[in-house]
Amino acid sequence: MFTTIDDDLVNEELKADKNGRVVFRPDTEGHFCVYTKRVIPGEGVHKGKKYIETRDFATLAFRWPLIASGGDEDAITLFENALAKRANWAKFPGFTAAIVGNVDGRAFGGTARVAADGDVSLDIDEKHAVKWVEDQLGSMALHRRAPSPQRARPVLRFADQDDEHPLGRLLTFVGGAMASSYRVRDGEITVVNRAIGPQHMTITVLDNRSNAEGKSLPRSYSVQYWDGKSGKLLRTQSVQNRWTRVGRFDLPTRLTVTTASQTGLNVRSLRLAKHKLLVKAAR
């Protein structure tokens, strides 16, 4: 049995498996400690006082999220500058828009709402399309979210010495659950590699455009999925995005995802129009 303690001295009991292992993943930032104890029966005397048992404790204290060490400052700066060049929705108020599209040959239409926190709600006439549309709009909101000023600096290293690669320098994260690596060229992220469960994924940026502030917005990119064990290519996607300026925000107007796999070619799309910000954006 393990006991956790957070900044507010709130405890949680965690039961280990037969191998003595348990996973503890805090859902908030802060200081934590985890301890376990062993009670050994047996009487004795210590400093003139009798006792009937001995208690041994093992405690681990840490700050969450964990911050790995061993990064390369030049690699970190290159990556941070590339992140800073991406267009984001600072102080995003949310928006509503009319939406139409086609998912697996089924046309749909209605309205979409993306809240300030990125939560998506739909009122459309085709249930089959709901999950895909929610996932796509949610992903757009997630990738446009302004970075938190309190976030820890990323820890990266250059993965090789090749500075002539056509897609830019290869950077790899030190640690991390998804074994992520990136390529950066001309101050922009051009490739994202990730291991997601049993699959490996590579995103290759084909075309960006600059917004009014000179920040980058994606126009087209490709995504390849491989089997993590065999390396077999499972499917390939090509993605096209288009944007419109509403106030000081660049909001999506069109998304087309074309997927090629062993089962054939599949095209899904959506269009947004008549955008309205939910509240007046802070200046």
Q: pLDDT tens-digit profile of 40-82?
A: 999 999 989 999 999 999 999 988 887 656 789 999 999 999 9
CA distance 225 to 201: 5
Strand bridging mode 181-185 / 30-46:
unpaired
Say how many Å lie between the first and final Cα of the chain, rounded: 52
pLDDT at 67 (0 to 100):
65
State pTM to two decimals: 0.72
DSSP conformational letter for 140? H
Q: Which of 274, 276, 238, 227 is nearest to 98 (CA)?
A: 274
Q: H-helix or E-strand containing 143? A: helix 130-144
CA distance 140 to 134: 10
Write b or e for each residue in 205-218: b if 16 or more Cβ atoms lie within 10 A of its Cβ, otherwise e: beebeeeeeeebbb
Task: Look up residue 233 and give its two tokens.
Answer: 């290519």
CA distance 208 to 280: 28
Compute mean pLDDT per 10 residues along the chain, 283 residues long, and list them.
Answer: 90 89 88 92 92 92 76 93 96 97 97 97 97 98 88 87 95 75 96 91 97 97 94 97 97 98 96 92 49
Task: Look up residue 80 and give its two tokens.
Answer: 């941070």
pLDDT at 155 (0 to 100):
87
Q: Which of 217, 168, 163 is nearest to 190 (CA)?
A: 168
Cis peptide before 41 (omega within 30 of 0): no
